[in-house]
Homo-oligomer: A and B are copies of this chain.
Amino acid sequence: MNSEYSGSGDPAKSLELLWRRRPLPTRGPKPALTVDGIVTAAVRVADAEGLAAMSMRRVADELGVGAMTLYRYFPGKGELLDVMLDTVYGELPRRVVPGDWRAALDEVARENRELYLRHPWLLQVAISRPPLGPNVMAKYEWELTAVEGIGLTDLEMDATVALVNGYVHGAVRTAVEARQVIQRSGMTDKEWWLAHVPHLDQIGDLEKFPVSARVGTAVGNEFDAPYDSEHAFEYGLERLLDGISALITNRSAPQG
């Protein structure tokens, strides 16, 4: 779930911005800024300080202008966010791995993961109706190509790509949250747990949860946070691709 929404205004205006088709006027003073310059500054702020810190005033400060100046270039914050999204999607290498759907989906998952790790604020942007910019569309095309021609229906292709994307989103969200909570609190997970145990002991209900106690201890002893998240990603991706593999094998040899 996310808390920042993209601009839901005029489609013509939004597409104009995303594809840089704004007709530039002949009269009046030359604009001091560019759409690209504002987006770059906004991405820089969001990367460094988080999406919550990326306010219109903060981005304007970054560029040395007043806050309301930005509204000469974007109808509102939502549209700025749309263009930010399409812009960083352009960073995806979109390498195509031909002839091996599993390797191709693996590549899709890993490139998306890298993108989320580079721009964690992406995890907070709701994209149920993506801004239809050039990079958003190229990304979807690239992802579908990974599962093209292997016996899936069109609907299954879409569902499979959505499943992998959803998995990566969730896995990275968990990892980034874990990383951020360590920073915010100044405590590792183990320190946090050890600060709670004495009080839980005093409440005295811990023996009601025997499996949690055993598994929790095993998890705590084995992992420190950074390795944990990488391990969880690999574990989940393998399970997921195994499950997709079962479907594809079934498709190749139906009623087998």
A residues contacting B by CB (< 8 A) are 1-3, 5, 8, 11-12, 15, 19, 21, 51-52, 120-121, 123-124, 126, 128-129, 132, 134, 137-138, 140-141, 144-145, 148, 153-160, 162-163, 166-167, 169-171, 173-174, 176-178, 181, 184-185, 189, 192, 195-196, 199-200, 203, 205, 208-212, 214-216, 218-219, 222, 231-232, 235-236, 238-244, 246-247
Contact = CB atoms under 8 A, between A and B. Distances in A.
- Give 10 closest A-B pairs by Cβ, nearest first: A1-B123, A243-B243, A239-B243, A154-B218, A242-B243, A166-B170, A3-B3, A128-B177, A170-B170, A242-B246
Q: Report copies per complex.
A: 2
Given A236-B163, A243-B238, A192 B129 contact: yes
Contacts of A216: 158
Nearest to A246: B242
Given A11-B199, A141-B211, A144-B211, 4 more contacts: A5-B184, A11-B196, A137-B205, A140-B209
A155 B196 contact: no
A218 B21 CA distance: 29
Contacts of A137: 205, 208-209, 212
Contacts of A140: 209, 212
Interface of A is mostly: helix
Contacts of A212: 137, 140-141, 144
A244 B237 CA distance: 11
Contact of A154 (B123, B145, B208, B215): B215
Contacts of A192: 129
Contact of A129 (B120, B156, B163, B181): B181
Given A124-B1, A129-B189, A166-B174, A158 B219 contact: yes
Given A166-B170, A181-B129, A176 B15 contact: no
A35 to B, nearest CB: 16
B19 A203 contact: yes
